[in-house]
Amino acid sequence: MTARGRFRPGGPVRLPRALHPAAWWLWALGLATAASRTTNPLLLGLLLGVAGYVVAARRTDAPWAASYAVFLRLGLVVLTLRLLLQALFGAGVPGHVLLRVPEVPLPGWAAGVRLGGPVTAEALAAAAYDGLRLVVLLACVGAANALASPGRMLKSLPGALYEAGVAVTVALSFAPQAVAAVDRVRAARRLRGRPTRGFGGLRGLAMPVLEDALERSVALAAAMDSRGFGRRAGVPVRQRRTTAGLTLAGLLAVCSGLYGLLDSSTPPLLGLPVLAAGTAVAVAGLLLGGRRTPRSRYRPDPWRAAESVVAGSGLLAAAALVVAAGAGVAGLTPSTSPLVAPGLPLLPLGGVLLGLLPAWAAPPVTGPAGAA
């Protein structure tokens, strides 16, 4: 019967649900790290394909799900710009001349800058490889945006940062509301036969829109206040002081640790150990601070096996390329001068293909409800 594999009594059932947004971000950052270690166009193209395939397989109908395409288009603009600039300013790289841009003689003070001249295949290839890497980085951010709801990402912030998170949410909702207000006011101006463009139009537009935004924020603040935003649980003074002390000391230690790490003249003890200790103290402060607010979470995103697999696949992809780069595997940065056909090194290839795993490992999504 064809029922085999479709009906497994007692077996695990994969219910459609939204994956933890942090898992998607870790996966995407992993792919981005992988991309940053190579200029091989084959590997980069493969990374684009991997990210695109996973987005196509696991995105929802939510408004933000279109951001992969948006970021990809942005990347292509960047790539085109990079090639154009290379052709205009970067002439003079020796090699096979493809075309000659008429050279503009520049005055003496602009020595070192060339405008126009022969454009070589080598120079263009180097620019294209570099630009392609930027495209992949942007595409990875776009993929994370398309797959993970920004609102839910903010919701998974630790309790102590919650209020900052709400501020960001409110700020994010301001933009679409301002756009709506601008549309409304512009329409009203047209109704009175007033200009909607130019300086006069802008002034007439800005005042009502700002007044609108101000009134809206006062209304929102009142609503949030009456809905219990900023309630304090009965926290003893001593604990409050401990929290503040821990957070402050932790942040100071993180700063000096970073300084120690970056400045080679300081004793090595001031570097990593202080950074690690500072991070630990700051985290402890944040956790303690989280107890300050009596909040609870509605349907928090669980972290299950699927999340680990998704995040792990991205991190493994990154690890494969970092290790390969460290080991000096040939083909990660193919030579552009002389121009040679890039090869496909095995270890990085395997790593990149691991990034495809979420297309099956992530739970399926259903319709617009996938966002919730």
Partner 1 sequence: MIRFERVSITYPGAAAPVLRAVDLHVPEGELCLVLGRTGSGKSTLLGAVNGLVPHFTGGLLSGRVTVAGRDTRTSPPRELADVVGVVGQTPAAGFVTDVVEDELAYGMESLGLAPAVMRRRVEETLDLLGLVDIRARPLRTLSAGQQQRVAIGAALTPAPRVLVLDEPTSALDPPAAEDVLAALTRLVHDLGLTVLLAEHRLERVVQYADRVVHVPGDGRPLEVGSPAVVLAGAAVVPPVVALGRLAGWVPLPLSVRDARRRAGPLVERLVGRSPAVRPEPVGGHGRTPTPRPPVAAVRGLVVRYPGTDALRGVDLTVDAGSIVAVMGRNGAGKSTLLAAMVGLCRPAAGTVSVAGAPVSGRRARDVARRVGLVPQQPGDLLYADTVAAECGDADRDAARPPGTARSLLQRLGPGIDADSHPRDLSEGQRLMLALAVVLAGDPVLLLLDEPTRGLDYPAKARLAEVLRGLAAGGTAVVLATHDVELAAEVATRTVVLADGEVVADGPTREVVTASPAFAPQVAKVLAPLPWLTVADVAAALAG
CA–CA dist 90, 67 (Å, integer)? 32
Shortest distance in whole angstroms from residue 205 CB to partner 1: 10
Nearer to partner 1, 1 or 175 (CB): 175
Nearer to partner 1, 133 or 152 (CB): 152
Shortest distance in whole angstroms from residue 161 CB to partner 1: 15
CA angle 259/260/266 to nearest 5° reads 125
Shortest distance in whole angstroms from residue 358 CB to partner 1: 22
Interface residues with partner 1 (CB under 8 A) are 62-63, 151, 155, 166, 169-170, 173, 176, 184-185, 187-188, 190-194, 196, 204, 207-208, 211, 215-216, 219-231, 233, 293-300, 368-372
Nearer to partner 1, 92 or 195 (CB): 195
Shortest distance in whole angstroms from residue 124 CB to partner 1: 39
Nearer to partner 1, 226 or 265 (CB): 226
Shortest distance in whole angstroms from residue 294 CB to partner 1: 4
Nearer to partner 1, 121 or 157 (CB): 157
Nearer to partner 1, 234 or 338 (CB): 234
Shortest distance in whole angstroms from residue 209 CB to partner 1: 10
Q: What HEC string does the chain produce?
A: CCCCCCCCCCCCCCCCCCCCHHHHHHHHHHHHHHHHCCCCHHHHHHHHHHHHHHHHHHCCCCHHHHHHHHHHHHHHHHHHHHHHHHHHHCCCCCCCEEEEEEEECCCHHHCCCCEEEEEEHHHHHHHHHHHHHHHHHHHHHHHHHHHCCHHHHHHCCCHHHHHHHHHHHHHHHHHHHHHHHHHHHHHHHHHCCCCCCHHHHHHHHHHHHHHHHHHHHHHHHHHHHHCCCCCCCCCCHHHHHHHHHHHHHHHHHHHHHHHHHHCCCCCHHHCHHHHHHHHHHHHHHHHHHHCCCCCCCCCCCCCCHHHHHHHHHHHHHHHHHHHHHHHCCCCCCCCECCECCCCCCHHHHHHHHHCCCHHHHCCCCCCHHHHC
Shortest distance in whole angstroms from residue 203 CB to partner 1: 9
CA atoms within 13 A on the CB side of 125: 22
Nearer to partner 1, 338 or 367 (CB): 367
Q: Which two tokens stand for residue 350?
A: 């395997």
Nearer to partner 1, 167 or 346 (CB): 167
Shortest distance in whole angstroms from residue 138 CB to partner 1: 24
